[in-house]
Structure 1
Amino acid sequence: MELIETKIDEMKDDIIKSTQELIRIKSVEEEAKPGMPFGEGVNKALEYVLELSGKLGFETKNVDGYAGHAQYGEGNEIVGVLVHLDVVPEGKGWTYPPYGGEIHDGRIYGRGAIDNKGPAIAALYALKALKEAGIETKRRIRIIFGTDEESGWEGIKYYFKKEETPLCGFSPDAEYPIINSEKGIIIFKMRKEFNAESEKGITIDYIKGGTRANVVPDYCEAGLIADDSSRDGIETGFRAFVEKTGYKMELMPEGQNGFIIKSYGISAHGSLPEKGKNAICQLIMFLNTLNTIKGDASDFISFLAENIGMEFYGQSLGVGLRDEISGKLILNVGVIDFDKKQGTVEINIRYPIKYTCDDVMNRIRERTSEAGIEVIDISDNPPLYVSEDNFLVQKLKKVYEEVTGRKAELISIGGGTYARAIKNAVAFGPLFPGKPELAHEKDENIEIDDLILNAKIYAKALYELACNI
């Protein structure tokens, strides 16, 4: 294994350069085009890694633009490393360009640096190290490049309809030591149609905020139209609300009778809403204090304020569920879109492994049906759980402890990784204990030393799973 680590050290500059080049591709999902099911940026990222894989000496395959792989070795069975190339939108407030791949203070900055482009490159060069060391495999190894992990998983689902399923594998898309439990993930929308007749008092012209259900929104904006009797109440109420809560918000006059309200939050991963500040929920809580808003829109706002508010765990919505393995249910309000005719809110829930989607949604429907709110567009990604005595977990525990000298404890997360796309798979890195979680946040970055250490851990893991069997 010393030879493999030496090979990785020799490739350090190439690993850094390849990570920078991949970060510079803005691979946010866009409108589909022929041969590009998730848009040009995602397709460009897929083509980049497949071309790089070919240059590194691996067999490659592009599966109709939905996904691809790089393969090395011999054997009837496959060990898979499941990574993704798409990223969430960059958001605002970056210190360095979000698609610059710039290096500052030993860190590579950019959207996808740690989620998941840096780890994808680390895994690819780990495989290169095995090849350069002349190690023969007893199982084939595939680095599988997914393309829409952040928005629906259609790419990886399509891939496994066309390609072999690995015997086992891991996804370098979470944290160390080993993630053997991942909560189930539900994304759904609440929608309510509004009475078109105008009301005296305050009318909501629009509310817009958020980018994805699985991202804590850092900005939300509302347009209000007020009659003469309500204008002063908005301004007075706003000042009192901001003074009481400390939320970062702005109130701006717009024309003769209008106001624009801007709410500023802090972005975070939707599985860790407590690490951010939800700009949508802040705005909803303020609007709910304006008792001169009338009609269906007001009723929907009141429902959201009273049943979700600023909570993270769904208790007021009737879904404050938990179990002893994976902990509490987690809820994030990710996107809002109101106009004068209807309002829609997109919500991301991470539910404990001992429950089902129906357990959660039946409770929510009990609340929404009473309020005349529809629940639509439900998607469910069931939980993952791999027991400690599984051969894969035992191998990875051995690797982590030997390379880092730390005990390999098993942990549960609310995030969802490609590990749940196959059996006998877990999330393994790239975030080391004690390091800040920067996925989906501004100034996302990866330490270069950690990037190289990840490559060494993955190389040893692949050796144990594909060669030393």
Structure 2
Amino acid sequence: MEYGQMENESDKIILDWVDRLKDRFIPSVLELVRIDSVEREAYDGAPFGREVKRALECALDISRQLGFDTVNLDHYMGYAQYGRGENYVCAIGHVDVVPAGEGWKHPPFSGYTENGVIYSRGVLDNKGPIMACLYGLAAIKEAGISLKNPVRIIFGCDEETGFEDLKYYLSKEKPPLYGFTPDCKYPVVYSERGRALVRITGSLKQLEGFFEFVNKYFIGARNTGDRLGIDFSHQEYGVMEMRGYKLGVASDRFSGKRQAAFDVTLSYPGGVTIEEIMKRICNKAEAEGLIAQLVHNYDPVVFPKDTPMVKAMQESYERVTGLDGTPVTTTGGTYAKAMPGIVPFGPSFPGQKGISHNPNEWMSVDDLMTNAKVYALALYRLGQL
């Protein structure tokens, strides 16, 4: 039998197993989304709070019930693994969620289901999708298919508030050969924009000039940064976006004196460096006697569209959905910013926007199943590279 025929036959077997696991998969999603895993005060053995710890333990318990080996890295992160070997491929998602907020039609951690749609905080971002990855891998295992490299499903606990979980993981474990995070959109995202947090500060004696500067260059300006001269654009990424404005008072890191502070997040396209961006912002700020600082930065994530990893995901998406899987870019930010070797991949389909982080966050059972099938084939292909 030719390799292509063998792969096609394996695809059919794996997809059949995903369907057979549905009656376990959906209850697992409901079990996990009913945990209010918003980050709270740390305590011994729970760096991100009791409920985040409980969500991680729940995910690992489900993994063990499916027959996987599991590892808990001090409740910073945990993972389920299929196969053995020094190198591995992975899907990495997270079980922590943003606060529920107001405006819910039903309790936000109830797992309320109506007409085949599950409504709960975290069902899309990111508990449903990481469970889809887990059950996709379970389908491979149940089909008895061996892989060249072991596969890990990694459960993060601090994606929403700081990536401290991933920093800890990488202090204990090597990064993957290949992988993806199911925390963005389809088709496969071959490149993420850079993301930086910039702070403008001035003394309390400079309040009038400080407010004039903030109004002129941010509040009263376009969010492209054109007045600052940072409205960089790229054919594939689009133009610079400024967002997440925050005005307040902060302490000077050297003198400790209180000062006016304005924070802005920059989502910047590839093809420009953060050094060039900051040079232009600093020049404008210094001309007004103010200071601009780079608080933190993640460079753009870029993979060639024709790499085996990207192509494996594109083929898996097209095989399951029949849709065009041409790789795309994103303005969002995911674990791909800090985990070497991975890209964003799903779970939202074209046209699905404004769902996560909003009231009545939802994901349909049909979409969960489709995701599980896409991820099953993607993990199968990545595991063979």
Unaligned 5+ runs, structure 1? 196-295
Q: Distance in 1 between matches of 2:268 and 2:294?
A: 17
SS for the counterpart of 1:331 is strand
Match of 1:268 in 2: none
**1:46/1:190 Cα in 2 relative to 1: closer, same or farther (>3 Å)?**
farther
Match of 1:447 in 2: 364
Among candidates 194, 216, 220, match of residue 306 of structure 1 = 216
Q: Is the 8 A contact 2:34 2:109 kept in 1?
A: yes
**1:346/1:104 Cα in 2 relative to 1: closer, same or farther (>3 Å)?**
farther
Q: Distance in 2 between matches of 1:350 and 1:395?
A: 28
Runs (4+) of structure 1 exceeding 6 A deviation are none
Q: Distance in 2 between matches of 1:111 and 1:334?
A: 24
Match of 1:319 in 2: 230
Q: How do 1:53-202 and structure 2 match up within 5 A?
A: 53-195=63-205
Q: Is the 8 A contact 2:96 2:160 kept in 1?
A: yes
- TM-score w.r.t. the length of structure 1 is 0.74
Match of 1:226 in 2: none
Match of 1:416 in 2: 333
1:354-387 CA-partner distances (Å, limit 9, x unpaired):
1222222222222223334343461111110100
Match of 1:285 in 2: none
Q: Which amino acid aligns with 1:331?
A: M
Q: Distance in 1 between matches of 2:112 and 2:68?
A: 28
Q: Distance in 2 between matches of 1:438 and 1:318?
A: 33
Q: Distance in 2 between matches of 1:304 and 1:53?
A: 50
Q: Distance in 2 between matches of 1:66 and 1:160?
A: 11
Match of 2:3 in 1: none
Identity %: 40
Q: Which deviates more, 418-427 or 354-363?
A: 418-427
Unaligned 5+ runs, structure 2? 1-10, 251-257
Among candidates 246, 251, 263, match of residue 335 of structure 1 = 246
Q: Is the 8 A contact 2:195 2:297 kept in 1?
A: yes
Q: Distance in 1 between matches of 2:228 and 2:215?
A: 10
- TM-score w.r.t. the length of structure 2 is 0.89
Q: Is the 8 A contact 1:74 1:137 kept in 2?
A: no
Q: Distance in 2 between matches of 1:304 and 1:334?
A: 10
CA shift for structure 1 position 300: 2.9
SS for the counterpart of 1:419 is helix
**Larger of the two Rg values belongs to structure:** 1
Q: Is the 8 A contact 2:166 2:339 kept in 1?
A: no
Q: Distance in 2 between matches of 1:375 and 1:56?
A: 51
1:61-81 CA-partner distances (Å, limit 9, x unpaired):
111222111101134431111
Match of 2:14 in 1: 4
**1:190/1:22 Cα in 2 relative to 1: closer, same or farther (>3 Å)?**
farther
CA shift for structure 1 position 345: 2.9
Q: Distance in 2 between matches of 1:77 and 1:354?
A: 32
Q: Distance in 2 between matches of 1:19 and 1:193?
A: 50
SS for the counterpart of 1:70 is strand
Match of 2:253 in 1: none
1:58-115 CA-partner distances (Å, limit 9, x unpaired):
1111112221111011344311111122222223222332222211332211222211
Match of 2:311 in 1: 394
Q: Is the 8 A contact 2:196 2:294 kept in 1?
A: no
Q: Is the 8 A contact 2:175 2:341 kept in 1?
A: no
Q: Distance in 1 between matches of 2:247 and 2:52?
A: 25
SS for the counterpart of 2:15 is helix
SS for the counterpart of 1:148 is coil
